[in-house]
Structure 1
Amino acid sequence: MTTCATGVSPRHIRLARRAELPGLQRLERRSGEIFRPIGMAEVAEDEPSSLAELEHYLAAGRAWVIIDADRQDGALLGYLLAEPVDGDMHIAQVSVDPAAAGRRLGAALIEHLAGVAGGQGFPALTLTTYRDVPWNAPYYRALGFTEIPESELGPGLRLIRELEAKAGLDRWPRLAMMRPL
């Protein structure tokens, strides 16, 4: 069995299945709980993506899961949702089960997306995240992402940032980031 640079076998990552969508919601709730101890209870309590939103990514073929292939049930360990925004591939959500933290599963999902997006001709990956949360912007910097100045945001990323602000996410500093492919 071959492994990628993150040490996770590529066969552990695959497109999500419709029957797994409720499991993605549960996983997003669990992964949000890590915000509670750092004073971000509102983030922990935020509702996960709706089934309709998850179905949108599933239908577009842009919802990937990483599973525990060593377990018979193939337990979901994490997932990533992506969509084209401003000509780049935008990471709309990446969540990893806190019980599986530290295994570089989020990095493996992002590397998988980088391969897919690069193969489809996208020049970069983008995302929005919290500036000061250690497993957000500092983590993404370690994966090769850099900050996009607000003045350089395209219309799609600008809209995403506006929607985040309306949802109250800007209570804590946020930013958009990009990684060339």
Structure 2
Amino acid sequence: MIRPATPADFPRLQQLEVAAGQAFREVGMPEIADHDPPSLETLTHFTDRGRAWVSEEDVVGAYLLAKVLDGCAHIAQVSTDPQFRGRGLGRALIDHLGHWASSHHFPALTLTTFRDVPWNAPYYRRLGFVEVPATGALVDEVAKEASLGLDPRLRVCMRRAVSPGR
């Protein structure tokens, strides 16, 4: 079940983010695993704007935060608890965002991600995203990520068109 995130979910979202981030240790990126989860202020920002969703079975297993960049729905964060990987929760959240984007007349979904991490760009390619050059607000997004310690040489911008009614 996908539903809007609420403040009651915030502790779980933070816990889930820490757990999901541990996979970066396995690919030699412990500094990413050590990043703090989204703050309560950040989560409030997204929920107050109606741009935060969770996938819930018995507990919240995944979440997605979105913003609008250059007239597109931009995936700011999507994370799945490791115990729920392989169930399609992330894909369902991304498809949900696609429906939301379509209903708001946005032409595409965008995101920035790691180029070579298996559950990043290769995964998104399987979901129909294609690499695009960083232009407009995506340039600012990559610069913001760099200020947080994410090497822009390892990052890629991606886009997936949204079909009406999708």
Q: Into which bin does the TM-score normalised by the smaller protein fall?
A: over 0.9
The 3-state SS of whatever aligns with 1:49 is coil
List per-residue Cα deviations over 1:78-116 (Å, max 9, x = no partner): 000001101100000000000010111100000000001
Q: Deviations over 1:113-157 (max 9, x none)?
A: 00011111000000000000010000000001011123xx11x21
The one of 145, 149, 152 equivalent to 1:168 is 149
Contact 1:130 1:172 in 2 (8 A): no
8 Å contact from structure 2 (residues 142, 152) kept in 1: no
Q: Partner of 2:55: helix, strand, or coil?
A: strand
Q: Secondary structure at the match of 1:39?
A: coil
One-letter amino acid of the structure 1 residue matched with residue 147 of structure 2:
K
Deviation at 1:172, TM superposition (A): 6.1
- Normalising by structure 1, we get a TM-score of 0.87
Q: Pairwise CA RMSD of aligned residues? A: 1.0
Query: 2:8 aligned with 1:19, yes or no?
Result: yes
Are the equivalent residues in 1 in contact too, given 2:76–2:111 (CA < 8 A)?
Answer: yes
Structure 2 SS opposite 1:103 = coil
CA distance in 1, matches of 2:145, 2:6: 27
Q: Which residue of 2 aligns with 1:52?
A: 41
Q: Structure 1: where are the runs of 5+ without partners? A: 1-11
Partner of 1:93: 77
Runs of 4+ in 1 over 6 A off after TM superposition: none
Contact 2:64 2:93 in 1 (8 A): yes
> Which amino acid in 2 is paired with 1:41?
P
Deviation at 1:165, TM superposition (A): 1.2
Q: Deviations over 1:15-68 (max 9, x none)?
A: 011111111111100000011111000000000111000000000011000001
Provide structure 2 residue ranges, at least 5 long, that are not aligned to the other structure.
none
Looking at structure 2, the residues matched to 77 and 49 of structure 1 have their Cα atoms a distance apart, in angstroms, of: 16
Q: Is the 8 A contact 1:29 1:47 kept in 2?
A: yes
Q: 3-state SS of the aligned residue for 1:23?
A: helix
Q: Shift of residue 169 of structure 1?
A: 0.7
Query: Which is greater in Rg?
Result: 1
Report deviation, 1:171: 6.8
Aligned residues, how many?
162
Q: 1:66 aligns with which of 48, 55, 76?
A: 55
Q: Secondary structure at the match of 2:151?
A: helix
